[in-house]
């Protein structure tokens, strides 16, 4: 079984600016991308170690009984290759565990899973180096769609089994933006 490494943590917040300032001070992190809804920060060679989703923008209306999903949205783990990610997908699918959201973020090929308690985990592989990821996150393409595009993991697995190269597997699909999974997070 492949051994992924911890990649990043995503927080849902209604204290957007305060959270960004706190993580900047505590971790010495700097902003890689920031808009009204999302911010990505790092403190090392990784393109981002923290992401913050501003619920005042993404989910402005909450009832008195709703916490508005404040807290950790998901924890991400990086696999060494698309091959490892897809072999892990195949292994988990055989055990009846499937991702609720396969998405190519532009700098990662990702599959999101939910544990029995509802905790979310992103299993990903980097689709480019950090310099290229940072450049992409500063681009108009990313600004227009910071979420990414969906893909079919079974189709990608079939391409892998048919001999597609790592570079071919990591190419960002050219399709419509992926909708956010309503029952699992950001919307």
At 149-183, the pLDDT tens digits run 999 999 999 999 999 999 999 998 875 566 666 44
Q: What is the pTM of this model?
A: 0.77
Distance CA 40, CA 77 (A): 16
- The band of 68, judged by pLDDT with boundaries at 50, 70 and 90, is low
Domain ranges for the chain: 5-177
**149: closest CA among 177, 187, 108?**
177
- According to DSSP, residue 179 is labeled P
* Nearest by Cα to 134 from 110, 107, 162: 107
User: How far is residue 110's CA from residue 121's CA, in Å, rounded to a whole number?
Assistant: 10
Q: What is the pLDDT of residue 173?
A: 83
Q: Tell me the C-alpha distance between 109 and 170, whole Å.
A: 7
Contact 181, 112 (CB under 8 A): yes
Distance CA 164, CA 180 (A): 28
pLDDT in tens, 56-66: 999 887 765 56
pLDDT band of residue 128 (cuts 50, 70, 90) is very high
Classified by CATH at the fold level, domain 5-177 comes out as 2,3-Dihydroxybiphenyl 1,2-Dioxygenase; domain 1 (3.10.180)
Angle at 94 between CA 92 and CA 99, to 5 degrees: 40
Enter the DSSP assignment of 184.
G
Mean pLDDT of the chain: 88
What pLDDT was estimated at residue 33? 96
**Between these two residues, 10 and 69, which has the higher pLDDT value?**
10
Pairing between strand 5-13 and 50-54? parallel
Helices (H), 30-180: 55-58, 82-94, 130-137, 140-144, 153-161, 166-170
């Amino acid at each position: 079984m492949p051994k992924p490494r911890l990649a990043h943590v995503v927080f849902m917040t209604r204290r957007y600016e305060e959270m960004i300032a706190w993580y900047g001070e505590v971790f010495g992190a700097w902003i890689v991308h920031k808009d009204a809804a999302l911010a990505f920060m790092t403190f090392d060679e990784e393109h981002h170690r923290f992401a913050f989703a501003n619920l005042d923008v993404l989910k402005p209306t909450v009832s008195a009984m709703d916490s508005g999903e404040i807290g950790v949205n998901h924890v991400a783990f990086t696999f060494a290759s698309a091959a490892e990610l897809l072999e892990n997908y195949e292994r988990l699918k055989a055990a009846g565990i499937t991702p609720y959201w396969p998405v190519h973020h532009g700098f990662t090929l990702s599959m999101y899973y939910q544990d029995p308690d509802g905790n979310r985990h992103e299993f990903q592989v980097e689709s480019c180096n950090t310099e290229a990821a940072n450049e992409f996150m500063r681009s108009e393409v990313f600004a227009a769609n910071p979420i990414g595009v969906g893909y079919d993991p079974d189709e990608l697995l079939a391409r892998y089994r048919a001999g597609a190269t790592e570079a071919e597997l990591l190419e960002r699909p050219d399709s419509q933006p992926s909708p956010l999974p309503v029952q699992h997070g950001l919307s």
